[in-house]
Amino acid sequence: MAEGPAGEGLLPFTLAGWPVARIADPYPVYRCYREAGSVHPGDGGWYVFGYQEVAQALASPRLGRRAPRSGDGAQGQDPWEGAELAHPAVLDTAVRSLIADWLVFLDPPRHTRLRAVLSHEFTPRVVTGLRARMAEIVTELLGERRQLDLVEDFAAPYPVLVISELLGLPRADGGWLRERSLRLQQGSSSRAGQHPDAPARADTAARELTDYFHDRLARRRARGSGTDLIGLLLAAGGLTTAEITATCIHLLTAGHETTTHLITKSALALLDHPAVLAELCDRPALVPDAVVELARYDAPVQAVTRWAQEDEQLGRHRIPRGTKLTLLLGAANRDPARFPHPDRLDPHRHPPAARHLAFGLGIHYCLGAALARTEAEIALAALLPRLAGAALREAPVRYAPDLVFHGPERLLLGW
């Protein structure tokens, strides 16, 4: 990890072992590497920091989510090595069976088929239909509180309740679902080494969630399809029970934690930029553009992985087939070659945030991006008057020891 100016002997880059203070603000470190070059060798592969190169990698058909097969058809390397939910200790467990059907880890042609079905059902109309319910949930969670942990009391339960509403799940199950989702995420490659029992807890959570959704699907088939997303996926046809189950769990886990981080880090950024906060309070119509800019400014997911299925040229670097690439979305979103004054929070960027990469690009662009933005818009609109008079009750803010799924563990506020 870099400590000095670019060009003064940068160490091989790694996502592991960062001090807590660095995790809270990784951008100076990214800058050192990016200024020395857009692509660097590092721990277990190559790391990509520049916007142009990251965008190219995300969109390239020569880069995939799984390691390429050898010439005789055998898998050259473990296909899940380096995946965000693929710590070696969980690769032969229920976690592996589950993520094998997650859209985010699939390559064409299977990805193309599953994405087509989901895109047909996961439409802007579905998200728009949830806006009123999102506002009700926000009001219920905030209540008349004068102090709260923005993570535990609001930003974490909120997206779980929204996704439960989307899937037609009982609200009473929200706490149980969130707990299992968090345990499953502990099986990620960036987290499983932090707790010795994390892989076993992730495996148990994968089994429990799979059983839960199998039961929900059986009940839904027995009484006929409905208008929620589970009902729509059943009615659409073409998906197996395993694929629908995996999709529901994927929506629950990915949609809940990323939205939690987007909301909490947006609140922190606005507290650090009181002039922007004051303008949004005066002009709430700016909130949608502000959410786009906030996602660019401090992305909830800082890195994703790709494998070179064929040789690829990224900038001056030839990437051989079979190479693992880690794409630093957070670094690309602060690249001055793409975003003038990238370290400035500016809701007036036109077009808004000029196609940032916080939600990806290409065939793996986040299917739930519109839902996450809408959730954040409604949450921030309700939080603005509170943030205007808020103060941190605990400093420094404690971040989770994870540079991939990036955000505070707690954020105590009072007003």
Q: For 14-29, how does the pLDDT look when each residue is reduced to its tens digit (9 = 90+)?
A: 998 898 888 999 999 9
pLDDT at residue 148 greater than cutoff 90: yes
The predicted model gives 277-297 an average pLDDT of 96
Condensed to tens digits (0 to 9), the pLDDT of residues 207-233 reads 999 999 999 999 988 887 677 888 888
C-alpha 182/C-alpha 203 separation (Å) is 12
* Amino acid sitting at position 178: R
User: What pTM was computed for the model?
Assistant: 0.89
Burial class of residue 308, CB neighbours in 10 A (0-12, 13-18, 19+): buried
CATH number, domain 23-414: 1.10.630.10
| Residue 354 in this model has a pLDDT that exceeds 80 | no
Q: How far is CA 167 from CA 16, 124, 130, 230, 336, in A?
A: 35, 15, 11, 5, 40
Q: Give the C-alpha separation, 250 to 210, whole Å.
A: 11
Taking the domains of the chain in order of start, what are their residue ranges? 23-414
The larger pLDDT score, comparing residue 57 to residue 82, is at 57
